[in-house]
Amino acid sequence: MSSETKQILTTDGIPLEVSLKKAERKNKIKAFLLVAPLLLFLIITYVFPIGDMLLRSVDDKMVTQMLPKTFKAMEKWDGQELPEEEVFAAFHEDFIKLVEEKREGKLSTQLNYTKNGFKSIIKKLRRASKKFEEGNYKEQIMSVHKRWSDVEYWRAIKRRAPEVTSQKYLKAMDMYTNEEGKIVSVDEDRRIHRILWLRTLEIAFFVTVFCFLMAYPIAHLLATLPMKYSNLLMICVLLPFWTSLLVRTASWMILLQQQGIVNDFFVSIGLVADDNRPEMMYNKTGSYVAMTQILLPFMVLPLYSVMKTISPSLMRAGKSLGGTPFVAFWKVYFPLTIPGIGAGCLLVFILAIGYYITPALVGGASGTLISNQIAFHMKSTLDWSFASAMGLMLLTGVLVIYWLYNKIVGIDNIKLG
């Protein structure tokens, strides 16, 4: 029998298989059309802009566009000896154009990032260039300042030729490319970003640990108490959860201030002297305390929803088989709560690692995180490409955590409220 004869036909005479496939395709398109508006909206307003951050973070077209002829002439230069006259002539031509457009200041700022000392010699060059005669620009430029005859400075210019750069990423790790083109760390006393990255990790880690230690017992209590009590206690978890972050931060600012209630309490029980009240805000302590309280519901809710599903008879069975309550807990109950622990820890850690508002308000100088640095560069220094680079590094970190979590626990094992 050939396959032709086996085919079942619909009433229209079309093979059933084809007809079904057609219907299936129609359904697929229907389902997709429903998702399409939101998907398109998010891709345009959210996914592409994140890609735009990547472009911005490596973008270094500015100098390339300011000195097009110079870089063209430099292509043949090997960088060993001082460049030939044609490079100087091209540089002169570019520079005159920049002076006309009043953009030489930007050039000096940019080149100064690459090598210190460009600012003054570009200023001198601008003044001198008005009196330049035609021809022999090499001699004329070199006579403006002795640094112009230093081959190091010309190498520094050449390093800015490529349109893309990894400098912003290096800067975020407190590193830079030195004169020889090697990647080195900045001086020890100028390393700020590494400290911030480490501190971000440290605070996120400890906040997660504190949240876990505090959330586990109360989630257990909520899951085992009869409904009428647990509903009331659940409000204690849910009310902070729904309350504005700023309100909760404000209440911590009141509690932790030097004349605040926590300090009053410590004085009244004689823990600290009245004239020697400790500073509990505007430092790491403030960040720890406030962030732990604010993120605690995010740990309690997933733990609770997992514990709710664990039958109490399992613990009884464990005990009746001869385990002490602690053994029964450790061998039976605890392993069953691991999906909830995983979800809670992942949630809290990722929220903590990107925290911005609370550390900015109660963290002071020693309690701020990398997010604060990103916001600082976005709003104050306007170095958006640097902010983008740090943002993307943070995002990569978050994605790596998700990936690891998926490998170890499995993302499908997450249970949220």
Binding residues for another protein restricted to 231-260, rule: CB under 8 A:
233, 235-255, 257, 259-260
Is 39 a residue that touches another protein (CB under 8 A)? yes
Is 340 a residue that touches another protein (CB under 8 A)? no
Residue 381 backbone phi and psi in degrees, to 5: -85, -15
Q: Which is nearer to another protein, 165 or 293 (CB)?
A: 293
With CA atoms as reference, report the closest residue to 162 among 52, 90, 63, 57: 63
Is 1 a residue that touches another protein (CB under 8 A)? no
CA angle at 107 for the pair 102 and 108, rounded to the nearest 5°? 105
Binding to another protein, residues 50-69 (CB under 8 A):
50, 52-53, 56
Q: Report the residue from 10, 15, 32, 198 that binds another protein according to the rule CB under 8 A.
A: 32
H/E segment holding residue 185? strand 183-185
Is 387 a residue that touches another protein (CB under 8 A)? yes
Q: Least distance (Å) from another protein to the CB of residue 356? A: 5
Binding to another protein, residues 260-319 (CB under 8 A):
260-261, 293, 296-297
Is 217 a residue that touches another protein (CB under 8 A)? yes
Is 37 a residue that touches another protein (CB under 8 A)? yes
* Residues 393/169, Cβ–Cβ less than 8 Å: yes
Is 353 a residue that touches another protein (CB under 8 A)? yes
Measured distance between the N- and C-terminal CA atoms of the chain, rounded to whole angstroms: 58
Four-CA torsion 363, 367, 370, 375, nearest 10 degrees: 20
Q: Which is nearer to another protein, 123 or 220 (CB)?
A: 220
Is 221 a residue that touches another protein (CB under 8 A)? yes
Q: Report the residue from 286, 318, 342, 391 that binds another protein according to the rule CB under 8 A.
A: 391
- Number of other residues whose CB lies within 10 A of the CB of residue 342: 20
Q: Least distance (Å) from another protein to the CB of residue 14? A: 20
DSSP 9: B
Q: Least distance (Å) from another protein to the CB of residue 233? A: 6
DSSP 132: P
Task: List, in sequence order, every residue forming a beta bridge with 183; answer none if it has no partner.
Answer: 177
Question: x/- site string to another protein, residues 11 to 30, per CB under 8 A?
Answer: -------------x--xx-x
Is 375 a residue that touches another protein (CB under 8 A)? yes
Q: What is the DSSP string of 275-338?
A: GG----SSSHHHHHHHHHHHHHHHHHHHHHHHHTTS-HHHHHHHHHTT--HHHHIIIIIHHHTH
Is 161 a residue that touches another protein (CB under 8 A)? no
